[in-house]
Amino acid sequence: MAVNMSPSSGQAAQAESEVLAKQLEFVLKMNSAFLGFLGIIGALLTWFFKNNLEDAKKVASQMVREGLDQHIQERVQEEFRYWEMSARTERVVGQTLVNYYLPDGIEEPREFFLVKQRGFRPPIFCSRLEEVRRASDDVDVVILDVQNWKDPAGHRVVQLTDRGWLVPESEALVKEQIDLLRSMLSDAVVLVVYVRGIVAYLNDAKFERFYVLPANNQVTLLGHAVNGAYVAYADRIASQRS
């Protein structure tokens, strides 16, 4: 049985096909436009974030650099202040003349070599009071070494009690040496008494008017010699201003 289609039915189908084709074309165009728009937005976002990332890197680098520069500057200033203080200390020490007096000394003791290595002006070793007197014109510090003081038989002159005080005979001998030195030295000279014991005489009230420092070991000997250099320097400055 044959089916006959009317002309109106064929025309309707053709019209629907054309409409569908146009709709599909429109959708494809819109999709392409949308993808293009997304591409543009993506490019813009990439540019924006890239530039902001570069800016962020620059800001971060600048902050790190400024922080590092400040840290380095503070460190350099701290080191310079330390160096300046050390240089000032050594300058005072280098200008200080020390006389090292060991009564009846035959050989220079080890402590004298320690003093020589500390950086003072070349110290003068003396074994007699007359030598101290001759070298006392521009002296700043005098070290009286009774720790290494020995008699002609080679025995130590200074003896101690069980409690570390000088025995009466030793106390009298050390007192005599201190008085003789103080009588020939100016009041501005610092006297360091080196002995591994306690000299009762140094507690006398009259020593409040003089620069006298006890040293009972090698460390305090060098330390008080340097302290004495400061005291002598300050005394000179005060005398010049008065």
Instruction: For 121, list phi and psi in degrees, rounded to 5.
Output: -60, 150
Predicted pLDDT of residue 12:
56
Classify residue 6: in a domain, yes or no.
no
Residue 25 — very low, low, confident or very high, per pLDDT cuts 50/70/90? low
Predicted pLDDT of residue 73:
72
Percent of the chain exceeding pLDDT 90 equals 45
Instruction: For 194, list phi and psi in degrees, rounded to 5.
Output: -105, 115
Does the pLDDT at position 29 exceed 70? no
Predicted pLDDT of residue 91:
86
Higher pLDDT, 165 or 40: 165
Query: Domain total for the chain?
Result: 2
Does the pLDDT at position 7 exceed 60? no
Classify residue 73: in a domain, yes or no.
yes
Same domain, 33 and 114: no
Does the pLDDT at position 10 exceed 70? no
Domain containing 62 equals 19-94
- Three-state SS at 194: strand
Same domain, 87 and 111: no
Does the pLDDT at position 77 exceed 90? no
Same domain, 102 and 174: yes
Residue 78 — very low, low, confident or very high, per pLDDT cuts 50/70/90? confident
Classify residue 111: in a domain, yes or no.
yes
Predicted pLDDT of residue 224:
94
Query: pLDDT digit string (tens) for 207-227?
Result: 777 899 999 999 999 999 999
DSSP state of 4: -
Mean pLDDT (the chain, rounded): 80
Instruction: For 235, list phi and psi in degrees, rounded to 5.
Output: -65, -40
Same domain, 75 and 105: no
- Answer whether 178's CB lies under 8 Å from 191's CB: yes
Which of 98-107, 149-158, 175-184, 231-240 is predicted least confidently?
231-240
Does the pLDDT at position 199 exceed 60? yes
* Cα 46 off chain centre by: 51
Same domain, 230 and 150: yes
Q: Which residue has the tokens 């993808």?
A: 35
Alpha-carbon distance 108 to 111, whole Å?
Answer: 8
